[in-house]
Structure formats: C-alpha cells, structure tokens
Structure 1
Amino acid sequence: MSFGRIEEKTIRPWNTPGLACLGAFVGIGLATAHQFHHVSADDLPEQSAIVHIFGELFVVTIGGAVLMAIISVIRNWLVGREAEGRSRSRADFES
C-alpha cells in the first residue's frame, strides 16, 4: 500500500444519483430528529409550526442531497485524474 496513491480497486466511479438519494434520506432523518427535539423541549413556534417543520425538512433534505452529490462528483473527478495519470505513466513506460 502506497500512501498518496489510489489503489486499483477504488478507481470505479461512485454512483452520484444514488449518493444524492442517500444524502436526502440522511437529511430527512436529521430533520426528523431535530423536530423531535423541538417537540420534547416544547419549543415549536406557535403561529406557524407546519411552515417551520416542513421548511426545515425541505432545506435539510435538499442540503443533504446536494452535499453528497458534490462529494461524489469531486471524488470521481479526483479518481479520474489519478487513473489518467496512471495510464499516461504506463504508456510512457511501455514506449
């Protein structure tokens, strides 16, 4: 194992839409836990509890999906650069 290098078995790209769905589900879980905290602390706003609950749920769900998608895109880009560098070095070695 060499440090700073990506091993051959990790070169396969991540599934960006799948990870975005996973991020959305994690966001839903976090928002739900946050709302349970509000209820247990009796800290919901009186006037617009529904707007508060669904607003936070929407924002955290979208945020989780976008965050995981960005992480996947960056990781795939970095692995692609690493794989491209390997193919160049192999071509230089073989010629």
Structure 2
Amino acid sequence: MALQEMFPAVANSPATELSAAITDIQTTITLLDASKLPDAPNIATIGVDESAETIKYTGKSGNTLTGVTRGFNGTVAKAWATGVGV
C-alpha cells in the first residue's frame, strides 16, 4: 500500500484573500498575504461551504502560490473573484 501524502495542521486556520480574480485553469494564484499559509508543498481552500475548492501548491514566491493543482482531492476547479477568502 502506498503512503498517503500528509500536510501539517495549522492552528486557527489563518486566512488571506485573492488579490486578483482567477480562472478555473490558472496555476499561479496571487494572494494579499501568502505568509498566512504554510510553506509549500501544502494545500489551501478557496471559498467556503459546499462550493469551496481545495488546491495544492508546490511553491510560494512572495504573495504568489505556484505549481497549483486545481480541484484537488475531488473538489471542482472554478473561477473566483478578487477578495474571495483563502
């Protein structure tokens, strides 16, 4: 059986916002403050409730997440507006 990839937990779920709108296929995502998210590789959630999208990112450069896999872990990749919570 293959080992499952695990990500460290972050207490109190620190959050930031999208600093620009994104498409459903975009693989770089710019945030207001990427320092709020754990170092890469890791996962994050865009949006809330049943409509949220989980992403996996392999790098952070300033406030930009890079190497983003959209619709990670069975969620649906979608376009998001500026200011949506991450």
Q: Higher relative contact order at CA 8 Å, sep ≥6: structure 1 or structure 2?
A: 1
Greater fraction helix? 1
TM-score by length of 2: 0.19
TM-score by length of 1: 0.18
